[in-house]
Chains A and B, each alone.
Chain A
Amino acid sequence: MTAALRQDIPDRRSPHRAAYRSSTLPNLRPAEPRRLEFAAFDLEPQPLATPTIITLPQPRPVPAWLKLLIKVQQGSTVMTLLLTGTVLVIYGWTVFTQQRWGHEYRRWGALQKHEQQLMATNEVLKNQMAQQAEIPKTGLVAPDPSSMIFLAPAAPRPAIKPDIEASTPDPLPNSPLGY
């Protein structure tokens, strides 16, 4: 195929374009001896005088709209791959967050239960302690007004003005002269 494309560029210099196009093989020099490499091309050794020319199907020029369509198809393939990837990621994220929600919801329910339990236990303990306090053996007595001290608040005192004069800082000791 590559060879065909190369044929696209006609040699304008040559008036005989047809003759140019028909030959696909490199020009053989008449004096060259026949080589065995040509057997790899699956060609029968031809007499040099008039090689038969096989015309390969001409690729038609690709029209613009087709080029566009091909580009669209390539683009859409990329898009599809991207979208599929995104869908999978989002789906995975949805499942993940829902699982986490469920997990945290269960935790929330357990915490609520604990709170309720703590409140109830706390109150029962308070009641038990209060009941024990009433037993005379514990030596606890109810507070008595005669043991209460009521203090009348002192009259507001005038605000103490701070000493504005800053005392001079201590003079730096003289550096010893002896050293």
Chain B
Amino acid sequence: MFGMVLLTVNLVRIQVFQASMLQERAKGQQMISMNAALPRRPIVDRANNVLAIDRPIYTLFVHPIMFKKEKEAIAAALSPIVNKPAVELLQRFSTAETGVRIADSLTENDANSINQLQMDGMDLVEEQQRLYPQQDLFANVVGYVNQDRQGQAGVELSLEKLLQRPKGAMQLNRSGDGSIIPINLPEDFLKKDEQRLKLTVDSQLQRASQSILKQQLEAYSAKRGAVLVMDVQNGSLLTMASEPSYDANKYYEASPESRKDWVLSDLYEPGSTFKPINVAIALESGAAQPTDTFYDEGAIKVGGWTIQNNDFESQGGRGNLTIADILKYSSNVGMVHLMRKLQAGLYYGWLERLGLDKETGIDLPAESAGQSKSYQQFTESPIEPATTAFGQGLSLTPLKLLQLHSMIANGGELIVPHVVQGLYSPDSDLQWEPTRPQPRQIFSPHTTKAVLKMMEEVVADGTGKAAQIPGYRIAGKTGTSQKAAANGGYIDGARITSFVGIFPADKPRYAVLAVFDEPQGESAFGGTVAAPVVKAVIERLITLQQIPPSEPVKAPVEAPAP
């Protein structure tokens, strides 16, 4: 009886008086706040090849005070795993009692080996490290993350918020052996978000383009080069290869300048590749008809400046030329005459509509907007519309030029280039798509068709012959422009050669641009340096996308064997 009374008293004491205190203690022991930072979303390409993925790495800390074995034995056991001499390890053991950092960036296998040693005093801290399996292939598109796992370039930077997934702190109950007690778990505890960011780029085409680019860069000792392939119907970029590139896993070894993507950020004067755009402006505004002819003197004087054709020294004036001929021979003087038919103010209005001084809106960071002269400057001095007529005097990025040519290819719509398709589940179901501005109709399909026909002749019969592929119709334009110096004027002997190809010309699907900065040699022109690159890239595109030929290929006539 007395015992029961005592028990009851104790029960009351524990349940009622000490309740809150005991509950606090229990919570303190059981509850842990897990701040699960989920790994960053992987980035995949069009064909679901992984371009960026997180990998667990381990940092090894040791607590010498907890060592049960001899220090020498431990050092000898650890030395082959962490690749450090045992002597050095011994030295480090003696620096402090706890928390001695031994090695970082240990792989999963190394961590398992250390765990299998079953030695006390080892502490492996897990971290996630971003791995770029393609190394330097997509460094300009995907970018890289720094030590703090913040994106610094490319898609890693521009879509940082999408890629990072901080789950936030969770309150979990933990039992004595450290495992989680499945009580009061948050609802989405087991839900695994496996979405990956899908890009529009194609690994195979990018790799082929990069190797072709590298070969040509070496052949002409050019400073840098780029190849871009865009789908003209929706603006998705299949390839953005730019050399020189850097290994994204070891971004710190490259200089900060080389980590910028010059395709987006550097302006250059497009030169003759801008001529088809001007022709489209002239035709659309009604100032000229496709059948008009203009007289090409070879060299003229405008406002005190001499303007001459590229091949004036050798060819002289060509006389009456149709617009198609002007493009075929890439006649500067012809273009000046053509664009003179358009009033300067109207011409300027058209250039504004093209958005030359605006960014294209691609979902990559650090894009530069082009530069053009002011309205006053353009309308007052006649040399300005004249130089703009053959593509000098205005500057834009290679990407902008490609966007303008895609407009010619797709029937006059100014589309927004992009590299991101959206967030996809592992079963390739679209989960989220970025909102893009609607494309604007700038030219009519009638005009662009006419321009496209003229551009086909450039490849068939003009300066772009090096881009011909038997059986396929390709429209293109070469460009060889002088490089502008920083303080005005042009650098002597420094050129930028480019070629833009639209393919297939009957039903355009792709626009390919190849640009080379300062190729060396007298024979370094757009038609010799860049056009063969575009041809090789289009050939690869044909095999990858299995595009049938437009015309049956004539079998080569073989000479009878003697």
Q: Which residues of A contact B (CB under 8 A)?
A: 98-99, 101-103, 105-106, 112-113, 116-117, 119-120, 122-124, 126-127, 130, 134, 142-146, 148, 150
Contact = CB atoms under 8 A, between A and B. Distances in A.
A50 B187 CA distance: 92
B55 A142 contact: no
B504 to A, nearest CB: 12
B181 A98 contact: yes
30 contacts: A98-B175, A101-B182, A102-B180, A102-B182, A106-B179, A112-B192, A116-B53, A116-B54, A117-B56, A119-B50, A120-B50, A120-B55, A120-B131, A120-B133, A122-B50, A123-B50, A123-B133, A124-B133, A126-B133, A127-B133, A134-B207, A143-B540, A144-B539, A145-B469, A145-B471, A145-B539, A145-B542, A145-B543, A148-B542, A150-B548
Contacts of B133: 120, 123-124, 126-127
Contacts of B181: 98, 102
Contacts of B50: 119-120, 122-123
Contacts of B221: none
Contacts of A112: 192
Interface in B120-135: 131, 133-135
A98 B543 contact: no
B543 A144 contact: yes
A142 B548 CA distance: 18
A103 B49 CA distance: 33
Contacts of B134: 123, 127
A106 B175 CA distance: 14
Nearest to A115: B194
Given A98-B182, A105-B180, A126-B49, A117 B55 contact: yes
Contact of B53 (A123, A143, A150): A123
Given A98-B181, A148-B542, 10 more contacts: A101-B182, A112-B192, A116-B55, A120-B55, A123-B133, A126-B133, A127-B135, A130-B207, A134-B211, A145-B539
B312 to A, nearest CB: 37
Contacts of A130: 207
Nearest to B472: A145
Nearest to B54: A116
Top 6 closest pairs, chain A to chain B, by CB: A123-B133, A102-B179, A143-B543, A123-B50, A145-B542, A150-B548
Contacts of A142: 208, 539-540, 543
A79 to B, nearest CB: 21
A150 B181 CA distance: 62
Interface residues of B, number: 35
Contacts of B42: 119
Nearest to A117: B108
Given A106-B179, A120-B131, A146 B470 contact: yes
Q: Which of A103, A144, A145 has the most chain B CB within a 10 Å cutoff?
A: A145
A130 B137 CA distance: 11
Contacts of A99: 179
B445 interface: no
A51 to B, nearest CB: 45
Interface string B465-481: 00001111000000000
B549 interface: yes
A145 B474 CA distance: 14
A113 B472 contact: no
B546 to A, nearest CB: 8
A116 B39 contact: yes
Interface in B532-562: 539-540, 542-543, 546, 548-549, 553
A102 to B, nearest CB: 4
A112 B472 CA distance: 48
Contacts of A127: 133-135, 137
A102 B175 CA distance: 10
A27 B182 CA distance: 78
A145 B50 CA distance: 28
A122 B44 CA distance: 13
A103 B207 CA distance: 45
B235 to A, nearest CB: 26
A165 B82 CA distance: 82
A123 B549 CA distance: 34
A103 B470 CA distance: 64
Most buried by B among A98, A116, A144: A116
Contact of B56 (A101, A102, A105, A116): A116
A171 B234 CA distance: 71
